[in-house]
Amino acid sequence: MIPPQEASARRREIEDKLKQEEETLSFIRDSLEKSDQLTKNMVSILSSFESRLMKLENSIIPVHKQTENLQRLQENVEKTLSCLDHVISYYHVASDTEKIIREGPTGRLEEYLGSMAKIQKAVEYFQDNSPDSPELNKVKLLFERGKESLESEFRSLMTRHSKVVSPVLILDLISGDDDLEAQEDVTLEHLPESVLQDVIRISRWLVEYGRNQDFMNVYYQIRSSQLDRSIKGLKEHFHKSSSSSGVPYSPAIPNKRKDTPTKKPVKRPGRDDMLDVETDAYIHCVSAFVKLAQSEYQLLADIIPEHHQKKTFDSLIQDALDGLMLEGENIVSAARKAIVRHDFSTVLTVFPILRHLKQTKPEFDQVLQGTAASTKNKLPGLITSMETIGAKALEDFADNIKNDPDKEYNMPKDGTVHELTSNAILFLQQLLDFQETAGAMLASQETSSSATSYSSEFSRRLLSTYICKVLGNLQLNLLSKSKVYEDPALSAIFLHNNYNYILKSLEKSELIQLVAVTQKTAERSYREHIEQQIQTYQRSWLKVTDYIAEKNLPVFQPGVKLRDKERQIIKERFKGFNDGLEELCKIQKAWAIPDTEQRDRIRQAQKTIVKETYGAFLQKFGSVPFTKNPEKYLKYGVEQVGDMIDRLFDTSA
């Protein structure tokens, strides 16, 4: 059992705890009530705030939308006003620009093109928006008038400022390539810079906005005329210079190949100086065409649209190129006629021209790049014509040398060098100036496959063969001609003179080297021929020396009186010698040996033979009493005979 005191104390303890719990519970209830009240108040406040927000939103949104609409309306009004201003401006374009268009672009191209741009835009506007309006017709007419004025201005600028290039400037331009000391290139200013810029602006406008190509025809016609006149002016310059001073201002034409002349060309027999002038003029005109055409293309490239440049250039150069080609064909035609009349010196005109055409061909080809095939083929066609006529001239010349008739009246009376020989050698010497050209002519006529791509060595061998052929034909003809002479001695002198002339001429020039390419022994052969003719000539003196030769003299004993028959024989020997000596000296004094060295050599050899024979004869019979009139038979001393022989081949003696 729990004691009563402990139970009472425990009950009081429990009651105290219960009281505390009740107090706590009461506090919690009060707090909950306060919290509920606060919650209710917050809900009420929030409900009120939400209501106010809804009211505000309902008020503001319509205002905002109205403001947006007003802003949009304002923008539309501004755009409409701007469009109206823009549209209205098109209606004023015609009146604003008419005065400028009417007065034209001269001197104010920039302003004029600005007006044309406005008109162009007005045309586009009315075409898109009001195609039936009278305003469209107005601006269209104004645009067309403006375009015509620009075309007219283009023509006017090109016509007024395109000048013929002076001959002196062209010649400076040509010589510039070869003048290694030239510090700066010679340049051509076809149009002043300001004019060029205006022309370029107009050209570009006409292409882009004018949809017009007629100005390109205007361009090439004007420039074509200037190019043609410039080249013709150069040709006239040569003729005037040659007629006034005899020597035109003529810088050297480029000679870049092996057939460059190393010696001053020999003057061609029978050649008219005007032919040389014509040749020089043509050669320079060909070079002028290349240089001027190059310059024309540079100018054209700035003015003409790229895809029209080649065609326009092709048209531009036609007149000048055709003129050159026609003149070239005329040269070929003249050469053909000259061949018919055997005027081969005139045919030589073709050689320097052909050489120059072939030298210039690479530049020609470069200039004509992009032109029509018919244009590109003109120069090769002319070159072929010249090679053909040149080869024919060479062949006909060789045949003419072979077949030149033996006309008695045409033979030199003194046995000197025949005109045929000198002309033949002169012709061959002139070929030295054009070795590659002549060799190529001959090679061009070869049908063998090797000739299609012939080398310089191949053409050199052909030329050597040709020269040997001419010399062979000449030798045969000379042999034939020599038979015209009745006197074998004169015939021998004639052949000697001609052979000697040929040999000396070959040795003095490069001909001997050319001949040696195919005939190594030619020089030795000519020397043998010359010696053979000298021996033939010397035999003419046998009829003189035979009278006094030891083998034909009578034998007699010294101191024994001569018989009548022996005296008569000695008289006949003296008389025969004297008469023969006088006759030969008289005849042969009129003969000629132009080569001094050969003349002296032949005289000396003959003098030695005759003097020795006559000296021996005189020593044996000069003091023999075979006649009562010794002065009649002892007419000449040994030295006197030598002096007489020294006067042979000398008409002045």
Task: Please state whether 649 falls in left (phi above 0), alpha (psi between -120 and 50) or beta.
Answer: left
Contact present, 234 and 167 (Cβ < 8 Å): yes
User: What span, in angstroms and rounded, lies between the C-alpha atoms of 547 and 347?
Assistant: 56
Residues in the chain: 653
Closest to 171 measured CA to CA, from 85, 247, 261, 237: 237
Tens digits of residue pLDDT in 511-538: 999 999 999 999 999 999 999 999 999 9
**What's the pLDDT band for 82 if we cut at 50, 70, 90?**
low
Contact present, 198 and 109 (Cβ < 8 Å): yes
- Can you give the pLDDT at residue 448? 52
Q: Which residues contact 146 (CB under 8 A, 6 or more apart)?
A: 101, 112, 115, 116, 119
Secondary structure (3-state) at 331: helix
DSSP 8-class letter at 408: G
Tens digits of residue pLDDT in 281-298: 999 999 999 999 999 999
**What's the pLDDT band for 185 if we cut at 50, 70, 90?**
low
Contact present, 27 and 21 (Cβ < 8 Å): no
Two structure tokens written together for 70:
């007003």
Contact present, 220 and 316 (Cβ < 8 Å): yes
Q: Is the pLDDT of residue 462 over 70?
A: yes
Least confident of 158-172, 384-398, 544-558, 596-610: 544-558
Tens digits of residue pLDDT in 590-621: 999 999 999 999 999 999 999 999 999 998 88
Q: Is the pLDDT of residue 272 over 70?
A: no
Contact present, 410 and 356 (Cβ < 8 Å): no
| Burial classification of residue 280, based on how many CB atoms lie within 10 Å of its CB (0-12 exposed, 13-18 middle, 19 or more buried) | middle
What is the value of pTM for the model shown? 0.75
Look over the chain and give the mean of its residue pLDDT values, rounded to a whole number: 86
- Can you give the pLDDT at residue 251? 40
- Can you give the pLDDT at residue 552? 66
**What's the pLDDT band for 176 if we cut at 50, 70, 90?**
low
- Can you give the pLDDT at residue 266? 35
User: What span, in angstroms and rounded, lies between the C-alpha atoms of 391 and 470?
Assistant: 14
Q: Is the pLDDT of residue 247 over 50?
A: no
